[in-house]
Structure 1
Amino acid sequence: MADAGDAWDKLAEAFGKHIEACGKHLHRRLGQETWGGLAAETAADKLGRMQRYLNVAKQELDSVGTVLRAAGVEFATHQNTLKDALADAEAAGYKVSEDGSVAAPDISTEDMQPGDIAMMRRDQATRAQGYADRIGRALSEAASADREYAKSVKLFTDAANRCAKGDWSVRAAELFTASSLHGDLLTELGMPDKNASPEAVRAWWDDLSPSLQAEIIQDYAQEIGNRDGIPAADRDKANRAYLPMLLAGLESEYAGASGDRAESLKAKVEGVKGIQDQLAKGGEPRPYLLGLGAEGNGRAIVSFGNPDTSKNVSAYVPGLNTRLEGHFASADVQRARDVAVTAGRLDRDNPTASIVWLGYDTPQLREASPSALDVMSDDHAEAGAPAYNQFLRGIRATHDGGDPHITALGHSYGSLTVGEASQAKGGLPADDVILIGSPGVGVDKAEDFGVGANHVYVGAADNDQVTKLPAKNPLEYLAPGSEFGTHRIWFGTDPADRDFGGNHFAVEPGQDTGLPGLVSGNLPAHSHYFDPEDGPTSLKNIALVVTGNGDSIKRVEPR
């Protein structure tokens, strides 16, 4: 069944390339040509409809593969249950007949008292019935699954015949069936629900046999790859298996899309390809793909170094305008790599895992203007904070030693997300906090992070305009450098201010592009904190904190 599912997947992949070619060479090409009039409009309409039909067929093919693989995993589970029951019965000397009945072993009763014989017979009968019940349940559940999967296969067979006759109107039932089977099987295998703790997920995973874990990784790559509490090496395997499937799906959708939808899909395609390139680079520390998805503006979590075996772990949250696109892969992912490499040079005895965590939707202000600041709110940070906390708890749950040194690292709007995470129930599961290029973090004091003010580190470039954004209420704003009162900026107290507290470390001043740079989005001083060439002092200080050597940072006076 699993092989049949894989065969259908290959068919679906080939069909996806056919759809992509159709969109590239026919549908989209028609819109780019100068051919106009009624004939062109009619052709475009028919090609667009054909593109939609092809995508429906692709979904159907994907669903058939899902059903077949789900059947294979469930049958294998019932087989294992049956084999365990048979093995236990045989080890105890009980004989199992072809019909599933169980007979007790022959034991000499020559020297036994009648009462002891009766007790032994009752015990044997009870044990025999127990083995028979286990065998019967395995066979019954397998037969039930057989009937359900047979129905599902017939559903798709009927759908294929219907579509072949030109009726494409009904497909929800088939897709829902595949989706339900996909999810229900994980539940049947005991996977904790989405609200469960990472510790519960880890305990469930550890109880599975290695062979079953391997099957689940193959068949449920997306679910396993993005679940906190699954060990990093297994998440990496799952996401690497899921990546080409996600890329094929995005490319297929992009082939038939237009307008804003096409622009969004193109960005995600370039982002996934960029991550693929980063993974292909390899090198040390080894990259691990800990999360990947197309929801919202895209999701991606990449670690350089294994967080389960590293003494030091940092999780960097990017900020404004970050999404799954080519720039994310070349800039933000590279930043995580640079932190890992620098940390490795500073502390060769204790390995470091450096993570970039794009597990939420950041604000997207693609057309910068003075009025664009009016729409900036903390909504995205509040929405992302629980997911970030859950991820950090997952790091602790899966760590081999159980006590890694974790640094929460927020850049730009990402520092606000870290601040919001610190206020959640249970607090921020980190040892140190780094805030760089921050427009405010939603709390007034370093001590409000709950890790101790002496474990909060702040870096702000002199020419980084984002760290000087005026407060929303002009009456609260005091320009940085003023001697009067606490500096209030966009999201509260300026973390670089003396009244905020914490440790303040040196960073390069960066290029000053003034107000025109703020309006146009040309902010080099806001982006150089991780750069080995433009921000080596900042990068070294970040790496010192990440490796647990915050006492050695190069300090500066706060504003």
Structure 2
Amino acid sequence: MRFRRSLIAAMVSITVLAGTGAAAAGAAVSDEQIAITTPPAGTGAWLHDHSLGRAMPDPATASAAVVARFFASLSAAEQQQLVREYPLVVGNFDGAPVALRYQANQQAMRQELARQSARAADPSTSSADRATAQTRIGTLQHLLSPGHQVLAFDPRGRGLVAEVYGDLSTAQRVSVLVPGSDVDLEHFYSSSQPTREPAGMAQSLRTEEASVSPGTSTAVIAWAGYVTPVGLGADAATARLAEAAAPRLESLMAGLAVTTEPVTAPTVVCHSYGSVVCGIAGPEIHSTEGVTDMVVLGSPGMDIPDAAALGRDVRLWATARNPGDWISNVPFVDVEGLGHGADPTSSDFGSRVIASTGSYGHTGYFTPGTASLRNFADVALGRYGDVVCAGDTASGDGCLTGLQ
């Protein structure tokens, strides 16, 4: 264990010293996070509820198809009963009707807002805890304002959330954004630099899609549905949190398959540590609607040896790193489980490498006007002929060879 932690510290120091300077190295290592792998609060009571005269599907084991059939068998009144009594279960149940999940999560967030408001007003609460409560109150008030569609919400720990932009019930093209480190309920939005956080990234992608193809109905899901690493510590250097997150992403995709009807499989866009989650989940993502396009950007590696490891059902696009992205200083190795393996933009990985011209920095790939953002939109829309490959010449087809 001592050797392992020494190796982690060495890798982190090398990365930070190379990318951000010696002063940052001492602050880079953070505490390990506790992954959330169990169903939400209320699951025990849900499983023991026999008021509907039938067995309740187990949130820990039921497939999305089973969940969809269960909810389809209920009357509207029965569905509303479950929303009232088990908002966290219904709101996070992949396979449940999307509109019902939105409604359940609104109720769950209102309950959490009341809890945090009481916490902030309690004089026995420490000043630090009151400040934390106030921050969460602000986020919840934002999510509860008109127009927000929250597909998942779990207040445990740092908080998990997924928000939908667009109409999932009518979208011809659906995309799922999987963010990287330092993302949670309180770091889901940024008013000063929107495209640095998942909500802004997702909105930027959907705006670009509308600009490119205004006649196509689209939806983008910002999915902060897993516990992410904080800082550049052990969690960022290992796949532990990604391994816990992968089944959650697989479940989300399975749920979308039975509750939405796009013309093709949803595109998965994976940023930074999110690409590790996507790499692990990829072999288990299957769709009856064709190949799933997976786009990675700012990737430290995907914990897979090459693109072929994702299987035939996933087509991998890797975004060329821009000159200001510090992730290029990360060693692309896997030593005793530390590091995330080969560089997905390398020539022998097997990705289709796309251009990122105009972007700058680790979170700059969704900036309007960049080649990266336009490429993400073109891939998500299936406009493969318009994709600009990294290093393309005017006459070359680069990463487009073999596409149907």
TM interval, short-chain normalised: 0.7 to 0.9
Residue matched to 1:268? 136
1:78-133 superposed Cα distances (whole Å, 9 cap, x missing partner): xxxxxxxxxxxxxxxxxxxxxxxxxxxxxxxxxxxxxxxxxxxxxxxxxxxxxxxx
Query: What letter matches 1:232 in structure 2?
Result: V
The whole-number CA distance in structure 2 between the counterparts of 1:404 and 1:304 is: 18
The whole-number CA distance in structure 2 between the counterparts of 1:348 and 1:364 is: 38
Residue matched to 1:380? 241
Residue matched to 1:246? 112
- Bigger fraction of residues in helix: 1
CA contact (8 A) 1:191 1:201 kept: no
Give 1:418-497 correspondences, 5 Å limit.
418-423=278-283, 426-427=284-285, 429=287, 431-451=292-312, 454-471=315-332, 490-497=339-346
CA contact (8 A) 2:162 2:221 kept: yes
Using the TM superposition, give the Cα deviation of residue 431 of structure 1 relative to its aligned residue in structure 2, in angstroms: 1.0
Using the TM superposition, give the Cα deviation of residue 259 of structure 1 relative to its aligned residue in structure 2, in angstroms: 6.6
| Helix, strand or coil at the partner of 2:56 | coil
CA contact (8 A) 1:288 1:306 kept: no
Using the TM superposition, give the Cα deviation of residue 253 of structure 1 relative to its aligned residue in structure 2, in angstroms: 2.9
Using the TM superposition, give the Cα deviation of residue 208 of structure 1 relative to its aligned residue in structure 2, in angstroms: 0.8
Using the TM superposition, give the Cα deviation of residue 509 of structure 1 relative to its aligned residue in structure 2, in angstroms: 5.4
The whole-number CA distance in structure 2 between the counterparts of 1:375 and 1:406 is: 27
Query: Structure 1 residues 266, 459: closer, same or farther in 2, change over 3 A?
Result: farther
| Helix, strand or coil at the partner of 1:291 | strand
1:193 aligns with 2:54: no
Question: Which residue of 370, 377, 380 maps to 1:546?
Answer: 380
The alignment covers a number of residue pairs equal to: 339
Query: Structure 1 residues 420, 262: closer, same or farther in 2, change over 3 A?
Result: farther
CA contact (8 A) 1:315 1:354 kept: yes
1:528 aligns with 2:364: yes
Using the TM superposition, give the Cα deviation of residue 267 of structure 1 relative to its aligned residue in structure 2, in angstroms: 4.1
Residue matched to 2:93? 227
Residue matched to 1:45? none
Query: What letter matches 2:279 in structure 1?
Result: G
Using the TM superposition, give the Cα deviation of residue 464 of structure 1 relative to its aligned residue in structure 2, in angstroms: 0.5
The whole-number CA distance in structure 2 between the counterparts of 1:549 and 1:297 is: 38
| Helix, strand or coil at the partner of 1:441 | coil
The whole-number CA distance in structure 1 between the counterparts of 2:234 and 2:380 is: 32
Give 1:122-141 correspondences, 5 Å limit.
none
Which range is displaced more, 340-349 or 542-551? Answer: 340-349
Give 1:1-12 correspondences, 5 Å limit.
none
Using the TM superposition, give the Cα deviation of residue 373 of structure 1 relative to its aligned residue in structure 2, in angstroms: 6.5
1:261-317 superposed Cα distances (whole Å, 9 cap, x missing partner): 55554443333233335xx3x4xxxx4210111112211010112323212111111
The whole-number CA distance in structure 2 between the counterparts of 1:290 and 1:265 is: 23
CA contact (8 A) 1:407 1:433 kept: yes
Which range is displaced more, 255-264 or 443-452? Answer: 255-264
In structure 2, stretches of 5+ residues that fail to align are: 1-40, 192-196, 392-397, 399-404
Question: Which residue of 193, 196, 207 maps to 1:341?
Answer: 207
The whole-number CA distance in structure 2 between the counterparts of 1:447 and 1:473 is: 18
Using the TM superposition, give the Cα deviation of residue 495 of structure 1 relative to its aligned residue in structure 2, in angstroms: 1.2
CA contact (8 A) 1:272 1:325 kept: no
Residue matched to 2:103? 237
The whole-number CA distance in structure 2 between the counterparts of 1:456 and 1:405 is: 15
1:298 aligns with 2:159: yes
CA contact (8 A) 2:359 2:370 kept: no
Question: Which residue of 244, 250, 256 maps to 1:389?
Answer: 250
Query: What letter matches 2:366 in structure 1?
Result: F
Query: Structure 1 residues 321, 393: closer, same or farther in 2, change over 3 A?
Result: same
Computing the radius of gyration from Cα coordinates, the structure with the larger value is: 1
Residue matched to 1:258? 126
| Helix, strand or coil at the partner of 1:356 | strand
Using the TM superposition, give the Cα deviation of residue 326 of structure 1 relative to its aligned residue in structure 2, in angstroms: 5.0
1:233-256 superposed Cα distances (whole Å, 9 cap, x missing partner): 221122122221111112323444
Residue matched to 1:320? 181
The whole-number CA distance in structure 2 between the counterparts of 1:422 and 1:252 is: 42
- Share of identical aligned residues, percent? 27
| Helix, strand or coil at the partner of 1:353 | strand
Using the TM superposition, give the Cα deviation of residue 378 of structure 1 relative to its aligned residue in structure 2, in angstroms: 1.0
Using the TM superposition, give the Cα deviation of residue 186 of structure 1 relative to its aligned residue in structure 2, in angstroms: 6.5
Structure with more contact order per residue of length (Cα contacts < 8 Å, sep ≥ 6) = 2
Query: What letter matches 2:136 in structure 1?
Result: K
Using the TM superposition, give the Cα deviation of residue 473 of structure 1 relative to its aligned residue in structure 2, in angstroms: 6.7
The whole-number CA distance in structure 2 between the counterparts of 1:262 and 1:362 is: 23
1:370-427 superposed Cα distances (whole Å, 9 cap, x missing partner): xx469631111000000000000000011246x643111110101111111124xx44
The whole-number CA distance in structure 1 between the counterparts of 2:313 and 2:261 is: 26
Using the TM superposition, give the Cα deviation of residue 468 of structure 1 relative to its aligned residue in structure 2, in angstroms: 3.1
Query: What letter matches 1:339 in structure 2?
Result: L
TM-score by length of 1: 0.55
In structure 1, stretches of 5+ residues that fail to align are: 1-175, 477-488, 512-524
TM-score by length of 2: 0.75
The whole-number CA distance in structure 1 between the counterparts of 2:43 and 2:247 is: 26
CA contact (8 A) 2:209 2:381 kept: yes
Using the TM superposition, give the Cα deviation of residue 506 of structure 1 relative to its aligned residue in structure 2, in angstroms: 1.4
Using the TM superposition, give the Cα deviation of residue 472 of structure 1 relative to its aligned residue in structure 2, in angstroms: 5.3
CA root-mean-square deviation: 3.0
The whole-number CA distance in structure 1 between the counterparts of 2:99 and 2:136 is: 24
Query: Structure 1 residues 389, 263: closer, same or farther in 2, change over 3 A?
Result: farther
Query: Structure 1 residues 244, 505: closer, same or farther in 2, change over 3 A?
Result: same
The whole-number CA distance in structure 2 between the counterparts of 1:221 and 1:442 is: 35
CA contact (8 A) 1:444 1:493 kept: yes
Question: Which residue of 340, 349, 358 maps to 1:500?
Answer: 349
The whole-number CA distance in structure 2 between the counterparts of 1:499 and 1:312 is: 30
CA contact (8 A) 1:302 1:333 kept: yes
Give 1:146-165 correspondences, 5 Å limit.
none
